[in-house]
Amino acid sequence: MNWLLLIIAGLFEVSFAACLGKVKETSGLDSKLWFGGFLICLSISMFLLIKATKTLPIGTAYAVWTGIGAVGTVLVGIFYFNEPATFWRVFFLSTLIASIVGLKFVAN
């Protein structure tokens, strides 16, 4: 159950990063609404991370949480914000995914 909470927390980390990207692109009321979304997603992500670390090792949980956030944010950047998907970005993204999966398998 706590692994599921950790994955959801990581997805909310991706969401708050995406909201931050929209804050940068917008102005006025739209920017404030995206900033509000950022704060809500940040709060949910932190709350779920705290819940997950009640039973998961903090080092593993934090690494997986940031890894999910990093991978998801790069993918959002590529597919939503039209950032380049170069060979090296995709290569290192793949190694990051492999590391996250590896941490899950070696965690107690």
**Cβ contacts of residue 27 below 8 Å, gap of 6+?**
none
- pLDDT at position 21 is 93
- pLDDT at position 108 is 65
- pLDDT at position 100 is 83
How many separate domains does the chain show?
1
Q: What are the residue ranges in the chain where pLDDT is below 50?
A: none
- pLDDT at position 94 is 93
- pLDDT at position 107 is 73
Provide the whole-model pTM.
Answer: 0.85
**Cβ contacts of residue 102 below 8 Å, gap of 6+?**
none
Reading the block at residue 13, the tokens are 């980390």
**Domain membership of residue 41 as a residue range:** 2-106
Q: Which of 63, 50, 43, 37 is nearest to 5 (CA)?
A: 50
